[in-house]
Amino acid sequence: MIIIGEKINTSIPSIRPAVESQDTAQIQDIAQKQAEAGAHYIDVNCGTFADKEPELLSWLVRTVREVTNLPLCLDSPNPKALRAALQAYTGPKPLINSITAEKARFDAVIPLVKEYNTSIIALCMDDSGMPETADACLKIADGLINSLTKEGVALSDIYIDPLVRPVSTGTHYGPVVLETIRRVMAEFPGVHTTCGLSNVSYGLPARKLVNRTFLVAAIAAGLDSAILDPLDKVIMSLVYSAEVLVGKDEYCMNYLEAFRDGRLDV
Residues that bind ligand THG (CB under 6 A): 6-7, 9, 12, 45, 75, 97-98, 121, 161, 164, 195-196, 198-199, 208, 211, 227, 229, 232
With a CB cutoff of 8 Å and minimum separation 6, the contacts of 136 are none
- Note whether 229 and 7 are within 8 A (CB): yes
Nearer residue to ligand THG within complex by CB, 68 or 198: 198
Nearer residue to ligand THG within complex by CB, 79 or 249: 79
Nearer residue to ligand THG within complex by CB, 199 or 254: 199
Q: Report, in Å, the least distance between residue 232 CB and ligand THG.
A: 6
Of 123, 138, 134, the closest CA to residue 174 belongs to 134
Residue at 206: amino acid letter: A
Q: Report, in Å, the least distance between residue 48 CB and ligand THG.
A: 11
Count CA within 13 A, CB hemisphere, residue 234. Answer: 7
Q: Report, in angstroms and rounded to the nearest whole number, the Rg of the chain calculated over CA atoms.
A: 18
Q: Report, in Å, the least distance between residue 169 CB and ligand THG.
A: 15
- Note whether 41 and 70 are within 8 A (CB): yes
Q: Do the strands 119-123 and 2-9 form a parallel or antiparallel pair, or are they unpaired?
A: unpaired
Nearer residue to ligand THG within complex by CB, 75 or 224: 75
Nearer residue to ligand THG within complex by CB, 206 or 250: 206
With CB atoms as reference, the residue minimizing the distance to ligand THG is 196
Q: Report, in Å, the least distance between residue 47 CB and ligand THG.
A: 8
Rounded Cα distance, 253 and 213, in Å: 23
Q: Report, in Å, the least distance between residue 252 CB and ligand THG.
A: 26
